[in-house]
Structure 1
Amino acid sequence: MQGFQNHFLIAMPSLDDPMFKRSVTYLCEHNEEGAMGIVVNHPMNVSLAELLEQLEISYDAKSPAAQAKVVAGGPVQHDRGFVLHTAKPGYHSSLQLENGLMVTTSKDILQDLTTEQAPEKFLLALGYAGWTAGQLEQEIADNSWLVIPADNRIIFDLSHAEKWQKATASIGIQPWQLTGEAGHA
């Protein structure tokens, strides 16, 4: 089986689940057991500083990172933090991904995010998206998702509002060209 790890799932217009509508999901893992991804473009109404304050973790309020919005990473474990970031080893619980990325779930990274010790680029998500064996493949067959290779610039360098359109445009498709109708030859 060829997995879609290190790919984006771009929600098709027909996908109207509020958690995934117009979403771009970075797939961290995909194998015969299922898939795990993080929605990278659904900002929550909470900043990194507010979250760190709630967790009683000290931070630098003057750091631009302090004002970054936390994203809703998906419906699974939405009370747990997942930091998708450029490679920076040394945290207690990190998973090395492809394309120079890591995902860290341990609290020790949170203390660094507003300091010079922070990874060069990062995105803090609460929760993740998960699929059981065969579920994602069926959703793709049902025309719920467009699958494209991931691009770190889309994850980290664009505003959340731009990510869905730029991801579709990266393969030469304008959002108005997408249809909710599935075609089968």
Structure 2
Amino acid sequence: MINKSPPKTNKFNNYSKLFTYPLFGAVVLLLGLGNSVSSAGEALTSNTIKANYSQVGYFQPLDNSVKNESLKSGTFLVAKPGLRGGNFEKAVILLVQHQEEGSWGVIINQPTVIPISRALPSIEVLQEFSDPLFFGGPVSQNEMVILIRSSHEIAGAQNLFGDLYISGDVETLNPVLQTVTSRTVFRAYAGSANWAPGQLQAEVDSGNWWVVNADVRDIFDKLPSNIWSDMAGVTEQQRWVKAPADEGFKLVTYSH
């Protein structure tokens, strides 16, 4: 991963406020949660119920072209079990943009202990919401990305696929939140995950990520602590086959 801003030439350049809304001061330091939003996310995750995933069987890796979907906007990057340490262990990332100029997305399964109302105290409509601010990635953590589920077009937001919209302008939430109180309508993320040209494809080819089609229900309807284990279970199951008898048996166990 690289510490650089999302590529300048992207589909969101038409929105002047996109990805420039500042978070509330040093909100993490004010809450005594350490030096980054990431540490807050780890603190919350450790206090949530995690789904257990365990499989035993014969393992024979398939070709990457069979396992993975093509890298494109609207796919999930699911960290493989071997990707250890840092912000991306057991991460599920919604890929927002994948172009020659680079790629970027947001981690969808790392909530922090910071309420969105505390992070953005000046946004009155958010003060009744207890939803957490999510850690979106290590780049530009003072900027916000908002995912919204809506059956109709949202002014100032870009449609990614189906009923999923993305924006960096908090004001787009005002009309959405006037009539609803469900947390399944939006998620707010501080920061993003970015790759230089060719870097993400190299990471996929090296076996760091599964690439699967994104489903809006994984973002809004599941407990964040269950997203990775549920998705890793599905994708790993596709890779379990019985090895031919003349190759012998290879017993592999994954427990997460």
Paired residue for 1:99?
Answer: 162
Task: Report the CA distance shift for 1:7/1:60 in structure 2 as closer, same or farther (over 3 A).
Answer: closer
Provide the alpha-carbon RMSD of the alignment: 2.6
TM-aligned CA deviation for residue 117 of structure 1: 6.4
Aligned AA for 1:79? N
Distance 1:61 1:177 in 2: 46
Task: Report the CA distance shift for 1:102/1:19 in structure 2 as closer, same or farther (over 3 A).
Answer: same
Distance 1:38 1:127 in 2: 7
Contact 1:60 1:115 in 2 (8 A): no
Distance 2:83 2:169 in 1: 32
CA deviation vs aligned residue, 1:162-181 (integer Å, no higher than 9, x gap): 1001112334639x8669xx
Query: 1:43 and 2:108 equivalent?
Result: no
Aligned AA for 1:20? F
Distance 1:118 1:125 in 2: 19
Q: For 1:12, which of 80, 83, 86 is the aligned residue?
A: 80
Structure 1: which 4+ aligned runs deviate by more than 4 Å?
117-120, 176-179
Aligned AA for 1:162? N
Say which SS state the counterpart of residue 164 (structure 1) adopts.
helix
TM-score by length of 1: 0.80
Paired residue for 1:182?
Answer: none
Distance 1:68 1:139 in 2: 33
Say which SS state the counterpart of residue 108 (structure 1) adopts.
helix
1:138-153 mapped onto 2 (5 Å cutoff) = 138-153=202-217
The count of corresponding residues between Structure 1 and Structure 2 is: 171
1:49-88 mapped onto 2 (5 Å cutoff) = 49-53=117-121, 56-59=122-125, 61-62=127-128, 66-87=129-150, 88=152
Q: Structure 2: 5+ residue runs without aligned partners?
A: 1-69, 239-251
Paired residue for 2:90?
Answer: 22
Contact 2:154 2:165 in 1 (8 A): no
Task: Report the CA distance shift for 1:177/1:34 in structure 2 as closer, same or farther (over 3 A).
Answer: farther
User: Which structure has the highest strand share of the two?
Assistant: 1
Aligned AA for 2:120? L
Contact 1:6 1:27 in 2 (8 A): yes
CA deviation vs aligned residue, 1:40-83 (integer Å, no higher than 9, x gap): 00111201121222xx2213654xxx111111101111111100
TM-score by length of 2: 0.59
Q: For 2:231, which of 167, 170, 173 is the aligned residue?
A: 167
The structure that has the greater radius of gyration is: 2
